[in-house]
């Protein structure tokens, strides 16, 4: 039985892009379990763009990540010891264990730890297509965009953990789906493997005008829905071709995560086109999770919902992998393997 | 019986602010009525900010106003001759007669002409509080903002035909209401006569920071809903103090009507605060009109919905009055009296 735990804490708040010096690797002893607690060994840690916002202490929808505390993050793993009757050693579980090898979880707390079925779904998928990113895609598409058959849906960061699910679900609902991604390999994957109708490589396009021209070619009937993971020039370009009564689900503004706000060039289009632009956070839509997870798990098990992972090895690789994620160097879901 | 009609046509499209030379006054003979037609003598012409957008041929939600045709506009007046069984001479009516003394209306067309009750409601009110501006206020407050008792609602152009109704309805629903208007006289009227809780004079405040500071003082619990008639710095300032799950009804961007788009400074706030920003046009919510008009008429008749009018005399004064409206020189509903 392990007695020591390796963990990464936030050592300082980044200004602009995070660097390795914002994190500190620590070795700490594992405490003995109290009644109701469960010790989990993490197999995978999830890295997600929202973590950048938590690293700042500016206004956000969540409390900032405290300094000198373990970085928050979703984890999947295996129960190694349990003092809660609902869990026993060997159970595969998903939780918010943070950037560390082990976590001690007060398992009675609602939502703190959930047993998962690894017979039909690989355990790492519970951090991606059958986890928070997948449910984010499901909620945004079905409850913010309310996509209908025959409509044209645009998805930015289309090869990512969220974007890839958005597009495949939209195709399943009978939409025309156009992705936006960075690089020919990502765009090829989005079209050839995920089945999008088209994908625009924003790395070959300089600025709003060029992206807008590419969108116009890819969306001959205009844009009815946009699942926005990026913001900035991409959002401005989408708005130029937005149809009357179109909906934008604001899920991420990765272009603005490094503390630099990017204006929206033409907000009058919201009025001219009677658009709805709505921000949402998936954790505030908990009643929808069971239905979403059921569909996502069924599709992954059936092979009709595909995804890709970029896996960094070892906890010490997490800071560099996270910085790479913010720069779009990952391909699909970014994970850190901890075993 | 009159045989000649005076009318104003659009002579040229303005670039930036309209000028008197964009309009041309004409005298034309009145045609004989065909079956089903009604001749209406206009008592009042309504001037509204939306007309500026129609004067340009850029993308808008409506067809541009054709050159050399009568400027569109809402009118109230009296039937002088009828060849439609539903109307007879003397009937008070509301319609879209345009910038002219008389109109010939194909009265069978749905919505073209509506008889109104002038016993309890003054006829001019059907162009304001009990007309399109009032219904705009009603729809935006009830169906876009969905204002609830105890919430704080901000209204820009608060002394205007729309804004004044928004605020009074919001007060009747139990909200705290903060107006934004230009000048001490308008702000005094908004608070003292219309019953708003506070009103911010944006003419004394230079830029987003100053407006935001004033809003913070006037909205100690933040902003839950914003009825946006202006855009630009006012919208940016409102967004800085928008609460989680707040709603912005985009009704007008008068700051941008003169063809100059004004960016939204911090669109990431839509995500951070899970806001809904939605544009709407009242003519696309026709099923709501009867209910809205019934409440508005009842409140005007009962004296619980107040309004103010600025009345220009004579058709030839319409261009100058319209230019003044775009500059905020009117006080309340801008009308042109044609009799």
pLDDT at B209 over 60: yes
Band (pLDDT 50/70/90 cuts) for residue A259 is low
Best mutation target, B272, B275, B283, B285, to test chain A (most A CBs within 10 A): B272
In a domain, B295, yes or no: no
CA A89 to chain centre: 29
Q: A79-103 as b/e, with b when 16 or more CB fall inside 10 Å?
A: bbbbebeebeeebbbbbebbbbbbb
Residues of B contacting chain A (CB within 8 angstroms): 53, 59-61, 231, 235, 244, 250-253, 256, 261-268, 270-281, 284
Q: Say if B214 falls within a structural domain.
A: yes
Q: Is residue B42 part of a domain?
A: yes
Q: Which of B231, B265, B273 sits opposite A268 (nearest CB)?
A: B231
CATH of the domain at B119: 3.90.180.10
Judge if A104 and A240 occupy the same domain.
no
Query: In angstroms, rounded to a whole number, what is the distance separating the alpha carbons of residues B311 and B30?
Result: 26
Tens digit of each residue's pLDDT (9 = 90 or more) over B24-58: 999 999 999 999 999 999 999 999 988 998 998 87
Per-residue pLDDT band for B3 (boundaries 50, 70, 90) equals confident
Is there a single domain that holds both residue A144 and residue A272? yes
Give the model's pLDDT for residue B62: 74
**B276 three-class SS:** strand
Q: How confident is the model at residue A256 (pLDDT cuts 50, 70, 90)?
A: low
Instruction: Domain of residue A329: give its range.
Output: 4-128+307-337
Looking at the structure, do residues B156 and B260 belong to the same domain, yes or no?
yes
The reply to whether B19 falls in a domain is yes
Q: Are residues B139 and B62 in the same domain?
A: no
pLDDT in the model for residue A249 = 98
Same domain, A158 and A235: yes
Q: Average of pLDDT values for B128-154?
A: 98
pLDDT of A111: 84
Instruction: Please state the separation of Cα B25 from the chain's center in Å.
Output: 24
Specify the CATH number for the domain of residue A160: 3.40.50.720
pLDDT tens for B168-201 read 999 999 999 999 999 999 999 999 999 999 999 9
In this model, does residue B9 exceed pLDDT 60?
Answer: yes
CA distance A105 to A112: 7
Question: Is pLDDT at A260 greater than 80 in this prediction?
Answer: no
Share of chain A above pLDDT 90, in %: 88
| C-alpha to C-alpha distance for B7 and B27, rounded to whole angstroms | 6
Structural domain includes residue A327: yes
Is A296 within the bounds of a domain?
no
Interface contact flag, B264 A264, Cβ < 8 Å = yes
Q: Alpha-carbon distance B223 to B226, whole Å?
A: 7
Of A93-97, B70-74, B132-136, B253-257, which range is least confident? B253-257
Q: Are residues A151 and A115 in the same domain?
A: no
Cβ contact A81:A73 at 8 Å: no
The string of pLDDT tens digits covering residues A324-339 is 998 889 999 999 999 9
**Among the listed residues A113, A51, A110, A112, the one whose alpha carbon sits nearest the alpha carbon of residue A78:** A113
Q: Residue B259 falls within a domain, yes or no?
A: yes
User: Do A279 and B262 make contact, defined as CB atoms within 8 angstroms?
Assistant: no
Q: Are residues A250 and A263 in the same domain?
A: yes
Task: State yes or no: pLDDT of A165 exceeds 90.
Answer: yes
In angstroms, rounded to a whole number, what is the distance separating the alpha carbons of residues A119 and B206? 63
Within a domain: residue A45? Answer: yes
Beta partners for A45? Answer: A75, A336
Q: Distances in Å between the alpha carbon of B163 and those of A130, A242, B300, B305?
A: 47, 28, 15, 12
Same domain flag for A117 and A63: yes
Question: For position B59, what pLDDT does the model report?
Answer: 63
Chain B's closest residue to A253, CA to CA, is: B268
B263 and A264: CB-CB below 8 Å?
Answer: yes
Query: Model ipTM?
Result: 0.90
State the smallest CA–CA distance between residue A175 and chain B in angstroms: 23
pLDDT digits (tens, 9 = 90+) for B290-312: 999 999 999 999 999 999 999 99
Number of domains chain B contains: 2
B119 vs B62, residue with greater confidence: B119
pLDDT tens figures, B73-98: 999 999 999 999 999 999 999 999 99
**Chain A interface disruption, residue of B279, B281, B285, most A CBs within 10 A:** B279
B320 sits in which H/E element: helix B318-326
Contact A311, A335 (CB under 8 A): yes
Binned at pLDDT 50, 70 and 90, residue A254 comes out as: low
For residue B1, is pLDDT > 70?
A: no
Both B172 and B209 in one domain: the answer is yes
Q: Do A201 and A257 fall within a single domain?
A: yes
| pTM, entire model | 0.92
Tokens of B280: 């709407």
Chain B hits for A247, Cβ within 8 Å: none
B167 plus B206 within the same structural domain:
yes
- Please check whether residues B54 and B83 belong to one and the same domain: yes
Cα distance between residue A196 and residue A191, in whole Å: 5
- What average pLDDT does the structure give for chain B? 94
| Tens digits of residue pLDDT in A285-326 | 999 999 999 999 999 999 999 999 999 999 999 999 999 998
């Amino acid at each position: 039985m392990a007695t020591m735990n390796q963990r990464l804490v936030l050592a300082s708040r980044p200004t602009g892009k995070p660097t390795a010096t914002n994190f500190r690797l620590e070795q700490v002893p594992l405490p003995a379990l109290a009644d109701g607690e469960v010790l989990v060994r993490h197999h995978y840690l999830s890295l997600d763009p929202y973590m950048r916002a938590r690293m700042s202490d500016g206004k956000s929808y969540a409390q900032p990540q405290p300094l000198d505390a373990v970085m928050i993050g979703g984890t999947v793993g295996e129960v190694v010891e349990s003092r809660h009757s609902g869990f026993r050693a060997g159970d595969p579980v998903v939780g918010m264990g943070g950037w560390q090898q082990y976590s001690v979880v007060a398992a009675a707390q609602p939502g703190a730890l959930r047993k998962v079925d690894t017979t039909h779904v690989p355990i790492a998928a519970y951090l991606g297509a059958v986890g928070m990113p997948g449910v984010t895609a499901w909620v945004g598409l079905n409850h913010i965009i309310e996509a209908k058959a025959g409509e044209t849906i645009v998805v930015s960061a289309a090869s990512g953990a969220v974007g890839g699910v958005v597009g495949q679900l939209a195709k399943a609902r009978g939409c025309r789906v156009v992705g936006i991604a960075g690089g020919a390999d990502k765009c090829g994957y989005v079209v050839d493997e995920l089945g999008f109708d088209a994908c625009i490589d924003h790395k070959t396009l300089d600025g709003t005008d060029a992206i807008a021209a590419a969108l116009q070619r890819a969306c001959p009937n205009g844009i009815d829905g946009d699942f926005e993971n990026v913001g900035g020039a991409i959002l401005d370009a989408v708005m130029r071709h937005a149809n009357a009564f179109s909906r934008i689900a604001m899920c991420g503004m990765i272009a603005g995560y490094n503390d630099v706000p990017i204006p929206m060039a033409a907000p009058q289009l919201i009025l001219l086109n009677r658009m709805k632009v709505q921000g949402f956070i998936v954790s505030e839509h908990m009643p929808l999770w069971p239905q979403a997870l059921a569909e996502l798990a069924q599709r992954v098990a059936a092979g009709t919902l595909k995804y890709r992972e970029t896996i960094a090895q070892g906890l010490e690789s997490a800071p560099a992998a996270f910085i790479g994620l913010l720069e779009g160097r990952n391909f699909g879901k970014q994970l850190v393997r901890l075993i």
